[in-house]
Amino acid sequence: ALLPDREDRHPLGCHNPRIADEVVFDRLIQVLVFGCGHERAADEQCSATTLRRRRDEWIRLGVMEDLRLLVLSAYDRMIGLDLDRIVADGCITKAPSGG
């Protein structure tokens, strides 16, 4: 598993339970695929704040980089990834007179 096990360390044990990683991951995939904001992907199960916090936590743990490498590897196995023929355009054009 990419995510380490997490213990509940709250001293009273009476706080709101942590949102399941599967729920948060599903919403983060929606943000990436549809290009929507965290507020749009949030619902009654998971708030936008939770999405941002968990994203930042997973970045700190290196989970996102591991996931990126797994996805690239899977894509290469299934479709083939030929990095010799990549073209990137970084051109930014502005409208005359500020648009």
H or E segment and range at residue 31: helix 21-34
Which position has the higher pLDDT, 97 or 62? 62
In Å, what is the CA distance from 92 to each residue of 12, 74, 89, 95? 53, 32, 9, 10
Instruction: With a cut of 90, say whether residue 84 has pLDDT above it.
Output: no
Q: What is the pLDDT of residue 82?
A: 81
Give pLDDT tens digits for 1-45.
788 788 777 777 777 888 999 999 999 999 998 989 999 999 999
pTM of this structure:
0.71
Percentage of residues of the chain with pLDDT beyond 70: 96
Residue showing tokens 């290469």: 76
- Backbone φ and ψ for 39, nearest 5 degrees, come out as -65, -35
